[in-house]
Amino acid sequence: MSTAKDMDAFIEENIKRGPAGCGVRLTQNGEVLYERYAGYADLEKKKPITEKSVFRQYSLTKVIVCTTLMMLYERGKFLLQDPIYEYFPEWKNTMVAETNEDGSVKIRPAKRPIQVRDCLSMSMGIGYGGTDYTHRRMFEVRKELENSMGWNYSLRDDIRAMAQVPVCFDPGEHWLYGFGHELVAGLIAEVSGMPVSKFMEENIFKPLGMKNTAYRFKGDMRKNLVTPYIRHEDGTMEPTSGMFDNRLEPEAIYEGGGAGIISTVHDYSVFGTMLANGGKFKGENIIGAKTIDLMRQNALSDVQLKDFQNSYLDGYGYGLGFRTLIDPARVSSTSVGEFGWTGFMGTYISIDPKEKVCLTYMHNMVPNDEEYIHHRVRNIAYGMIDKVE
């Protein structure tokens, strides 16, 4: 059985090779088993990482966004099989860009409309980039949007513009990481009747006491934001700027589903701990346990699993917004249905409702070194827990 000393030793070795600093928090049954902050939030200023250090979450935004939408699902605001055009009319006549063997492209109507479930499970057909027709057109549309509106356009503007882009496969046929969760965030605003950030604040952040989690700077969050670093091959660390940092400014209006939230290890751990404990926090229900169970069921077909799995995600499927463990014998000491995700600069969460465990780890560095760091932190952490009978 591993101990806190094993985690301490790994963290110390970890920050010697980069990242500059990191934070870890492990809970079980709502109790903190381990919490540690090490290294620097800013190497040049020798500013230490602390409980108040704020990290760019990037794709870890997705877990909060998808949970938020499913809170509205259990309030009867939509069904998973609903076509998204019922909420975004411009998406009614979705087209598919089909590439022929000679390289030519045929644009044809999709076999069926994109449904809400396709957006949650990343099977709606627009990714984050590529050289195919769909993604060339995506970049053109985004450029046109920036040229006409500047950088400070809204999520709704983005969704409206992207409806012009033919998807690269029929909805539900493949898995492709990308635009689906922007549509998820847009749906939150549409069915709740309020901005994404306001609904989250009233229904998640405030009830959980997450005072240092937001889409934009508030309170002391600006001064506590960690400096992101590039780790070069020779091990040297170079400060860099964070992608989308302009969206953290008070005047920014984009509230995305795929990225955008900033948070602390402590705050995000409180959120994950709530999910690990069946949606309960201090005796209050934030989201239903059965809804959490629905979200962490594998939603992918065998074909989609081939699109999804890689060495980092070996043994996992994908549910309604995040990875979910389907074969623990492959890589992990966690339970079937353990779920979570990873952020571009190294944020990570693992939530295991069977053992009522939540593991949260954060740094901000590129490359994020996710496979080396996250899996080791996970294995040490799960070696520290008591099995729930």
pLDDT for residue 333:
79
CA 191/CA 240 separation, integer angstroms: 38
Asked if the bond preceding 166 is cis, omega within 30° of 0, the reply is no
Cβ atoms within 10 A of the Cβ of 236, count? 10
CA 187/CA 196 separation, integer angstroms: 9
pLDDT along the chain (389 residues), means of 10: 96 95 98 98 98 98 98 98 98 95 93 98 97 96 96 97 98 98 98 98 98 98 98 96 96 98 98 98 96 98 97 96 94 89 98 97 98 96 85
User: What count of Cα atoms within 13 Å lies in the side-chain half-sphere of residue 389?
Assistant: 0
- The CATH number, out of the four listed (3.30.420.610, 3.90.1170.30, 3.40.710.10, 3.10.20.30), of the domain defined by the range 4-73+195-384: 3.40.710.10
pLDDT for residue 86:
98
Nearest Cα neighbor of 176 from 189, 164, 165 is 165
Nearest Cα neighbor of 296 from 333, 334, 337 is 337
Parse the chain into domains and list their residue ranges: 4-73+195-384, 84-192
Kind and range of the H or E run holding 136: helix 133-149
pLDDT for residue 84:
98
Buried b or exposed e, range 247-280, using 16+ CB within 10 angstroms: bbeeebebbbbbbbbbbbbbbbbbbbbbbbbbbb
CA 8/CA 284 separation, integer angstroms: 34
For strand 229-231 and strand 365-366, is the pairing parallel, antiparallel, or unpaired?
Answer: parallel
Residue 306 DSSP SS3? helix
CA 342/CA 20 separation, integer angstroms: 18
Which residue type does 184 have?
A: V
